[in-house]
Structure 1
Amino acid sequence: MATYHRGELAVQQRAGLATPAAHALRGIGSTVPAVAAAFLAEQPMIVVGAVDGAGRAWSSLLTGEPGFLRVPDPTTVLIDALPLPEDPLASVLGDGPAKVGMIAIEPATRRRMRVNGTATPRDGGLRVDTDQVISNCPKYIQQRSFAFEPAAESPTVRRGAELTVGQQLRLSTTDTFFVATASPDGDADASHRGGNPGFVRVLSPTRLRWPDYRGNTMFLTLGNLALRPTAGLVVPGWDTGSVLQLTGTARTDWNPDLAAEFPGAQRIVDFDVTEVRETLHAVPLRWTEPGYSRFNPPVSQAN
């Protein structure tokens, strides 16, 4: 039976949403329903989050032709892909087993689902034994369709301890990113964050800030951060196939005056960057221009 850990419970209580969160708990299962298995089989991409040997959280993208995600039984997800050798999660997932948090998203229909569990390498891919299977609402997902475009060049990796000017521009204009966190026990989770371009603020080459909008009341991400502040972000290059990955620490700021600077925000999250990896020509997926979610709050002119 699903339960919340003390960090999630504390955040739910502070937000005044303990009762709806208790009801939402029914949405967390341990097996993959048939409808979810069919959904996964149609996807060309899944986000995977995990913690490396140094205790840093990272998020990564795994891609493949639809069918590369398979559910042979209700407690198993097979992934016919591994991270690139240059990816910070390559050794974590390649050596396994490793606790992972995953989220599959279908921008064309604004559907998404999360699967958390233990990943073990197998036959050039991964076997994930499920612990949590969670369906989420379609809020803040931008509508896109995909096509495959074979890479004309080999992946190229840029590493740094802070954001370049180009990377800052990319973050300040993005409409989507994914964030990986973990509980003190090491259970990983990956979640989606979306909004109109400008919803992420770049405060400096090593600090970001984004609003926390009204969601499913579970607070799985903020609950993990309350106990273990490590976080890993991945920002897809929707039209280029590049991948921008950041690791660092994040904390929730409950100051209502600060939240008021972001229309629609309930609170804000500050993220301090400790390492940046940008991989060009990372994935063969290309996506159309976005149709913005009607749930996206407007972006303050202060941005």
Structure 2
Amino acid sequence: MPRDSDRPANFHSGELTAQIRAGQTVEAECLGPVVKPFLAEGGRSLIDSARIAVATTIGPNGAPMLSLLAVDAGAFGALGSSGLTIPRAAVSSEDALFDNLRRDRRIGLVYLDPYTRRRFRVNGEVVDSRTDPLEVSILEAFPNCKKYLVRQQLTSSKQVCPKAATRGRSITRADAALLCQASLVFVGTANPQGQLDAATRSGDPGFIREVARNTFEIPDFAGNAMYQTIGNLLLEPRASIGFVAGDEFVVLTGSSTTHWEDEAERSGGNGRFWRFTPRSWRRVPLPMPVELSGYDRSRHTPVLD
């Protein structure tokens, strides 16, 4: 979200537009109060035990950019109910996160336990990008439904030789194929006048498909009716998609278009999807040797043709 104080439940104009278009203003009003300007106990317990999170920051061209964070259990922390700590070692030395935060202190975070499928999102600002650990002042904190998330195991893997990040403009055919076979991706979006957001999208392998060369379609399954991701995309079409590929985090940054009439009926019945065209890519080594494995689909996941 952020937030204009006179907006219902403090939703911004993009979220309100999406809620009205979807006919879910009542549902959004009911759920809006779960978004708190502080960290409740349930969120603290997940963050304390989490080993991975994904952050959205603003890159040098003004577009959202994703970073994967990984730690040993207990290394993420909370500063009472108003703040969070992130050790600098949670971020790959090849990642752009710290450079981005020097220019723009806003950050969106999603913490994930892949096995229990619990998620928790925090939007806020870094107090000082030079400290270790980073301190994040919380502006919004809220749990996420685990309805469609695939269950996976997060395990330590063998230490690999350090490698440099690589980058390019056009997505490779190999990474296009990996994206279309992913069962879990992360999405970074921004409200130009407010908070950043990091979210997840999950489904059966193939739920993301390439509908034209370098254009990918992502269904927007029915969710919490608050429309943080779609609402941001309506205001700022630039976005970032990330996924784990072996010992690297693949980050695609590009532009999106939002659609409300799914003639192919691949959106799980609600008609919504968005299309994403990558303009640049980065492959960043994971900050520590971990591996996501296994595939236990959610029984709620729509079966797509």
Does the alignment reach a TM-score above 0.5? yes
Counterpart-to-counterpart distance in 2, 1:44 and 1:149: 14
1:125 maps to what in 2?
A: 133
Determine if contact 1:164/1:205 at 8 Å carries over to the other structure.
Answer: no
1:272 maps to what in 2?
A: 277
1:15 alignment partner AA: A
1:36 maps to what in 2?
A: 43
Determine if contact 1:84/1:90 at 8 Å carries over to the other structure.
Answer: no
Determine if contact 2:54/2:111 at 8 Å carries over to the other structure.
Answer: yes
Counterpart-to-counterpart distance in 1, 2:131 and 2:154: 27
Correspondence 1:161 to 2:166: no
Change beyond 3 A, Cα 1:151–1:195? same
What secondary structure, in the 3-state scheme, does the structure 2 residue paired with 1:290 have? strand
Correspondence 1:224 to 2:229: no
Taking the TM superposition and a 5 Å limit, the aligned residue runs for 1:137-286 are 137-237=145-245, 240-258=246-264, 260-280=265-285, 283-286=288-291
1:274 alignment partner AA: R
Determine if contact 2:261/2:271 at 8 Å carries over to the other structure.
Answer: no
Determine if contact 2:171/2:214 at 8 Å carries over to the other structure.
Answer: yes
Unaligned regions of 5+ residues in structure 2, if any?
Answer: none
TM-score by length of 1: 0.92
1:103 maps to what in 2?
A: 110
Q: Which of 16, 34, 39 is residue 23 of structure 2 equivalent to? A: 16
Q: Deviations over 1:251-280 (max 9, x none)?
A: 21112314x144445311001111011234
Counterpart-to-counterpart distance in 2, 1:261 and 1:41: 37
2:65 maps to what in 1?
A: 58
1:268 alignment partner AA: F
Change beyond 3 A, Cα 1:145–1:206? same
Counterpart-to-counterpart distance in 2, 1:44 and 1:261: 33
Counterpart-to-counterpart distance in 1, 2:131 and 2:151: 33
Change beyond 3 A, Cα 1:280–1:46? closer
What secondary structure, in the 3-state scheme, does the structure 2 residue paired with 1:145 have? strand
What secondary structure, in the 3-state scheme, does the structure 2 residue paired with 1:202 have? strand
Distance apart, 1:156 and its partner CA: 3.3
1:170 alignment partner AA: L
Identity level (%): 27
Determine if contact 2:111/2:119 at 8 Å carries over to the other structure.
Answer: yes
1:168 alignment partner AA: A
1:49 alignment partner AA: T
290-299 or 130-139, larger mean C-alpha shift: 290-299
160-169 or 5-14, larger mean C-alpha shift: 160-169
Correspondence 1:290 to 2:295: yes
Counterpart-to-counterpart distance in 1, 2:263 and 2:172: 30
Over 4 Å off, 4+ runs: none
2:142 maps to what in 1?
A: 134
Change beyond 3 A, Cα 1:148–1:292? same
RMSD between superposed Cα atoms in Å: 1.8
Change beyond 3 A, Cα 1:226–1:14? same
Unaligned regions of 5+ residues in structure 1, if any?
Answer: none
What secondary structure, in the 3-state scheme, does the structure 2 residue paired with 1:24 have? helix
2:193 alignment partner AA: D
Distance apart, 1:284 and its partner CA: 1.4
Q: Deviations over 1:11-31 (max 9, x none)?
A: 100000011001110110011
Change beyond 3 A, Cα 1:77–1:61? same
What secondary structure, in the 3-state scheme, does the structure 1 residue paired with 2:294 have? coil
Determine if contact 1:206/1:274 at 8 Å carries over to the other structure.
Answer: no
What secondary structure, in the 3-state scheme, does the structure 2 residue paired with 1:266 have? coil
